[in-house]
Structure 1
Amino acid sequence: MMSSQAFISFSGVSKSYDGIHAVVEELDLDVARGEFLSLLGPSGSGKTTTLMMLAGFESPTDGTILLDGKRLNDTPPHRRDIGMVFQNYALFPHMTIAQNVAFPLSVRKLSRSEQKVRVQRALDMVELGHLAARHPAQLSGGQQQRVALARALVFEPRVVLMDEPLGALDKRLRETMQYEIMRLHRELGLTIVYVTHDQSEALTMSDRVAVFSDGRIQQVAAPTELYENAQNAFVANFVGENNDLCGHVSAIEGEWATLMLAGGTAIRGRCGSGLAVGEAAMLALRPERAALTGASDAGSADVRNVLAATVRELVYCGDHHRVHLALADGERLIVKVPNTQRQDLPLLGAATCVVWRGDDCKVLAVPPVRRPAASPGRSVSASSSTISPPVTGVTRV
Structure 2
Amino acid sequence: MEKETFLKILDKYIKGAASDEEVQFLYAYYQLFELKEDVFNRIDTDAKKELENAIKLDIDKKLGELENTPSYPTLTKVHRTIIYKLGIAAVLAVLIGIGAFWLVGRQKQDITKQKEAHQMPSSPPITPGKDDAILVFADGTSIVLNEVQQGTVSHQQGVQIEKTADGELRYRAASNSEAVENTISTPKGGQYRLVLADGTKVWLNAASSLRFPTSFSAGERVVNLDGEAYFEVMKGDKPFKVISDNQVVEVLGTHFNINTYKEETMFKTTLVEGSVHITKLTDDARKLSHTSKVLRPGQQATLSALGDKIIVEAVDIEEFIAWKDGYFKFEKANIQTIMRQVARWYNVEVEYRGAVSNDLFVGEINRSEDIEEVLRVLRLGKINTFIEGRKVIISN
Assess same fold via TM > 0.5: no
- Structure scoring higher RCO (CA < 8 A, sep ≥ 6) equals 1
Per the normalisation by structure 1, the TM-score is: 0.23
Per the normalisation by structure 2, the TM-score is: 0.24
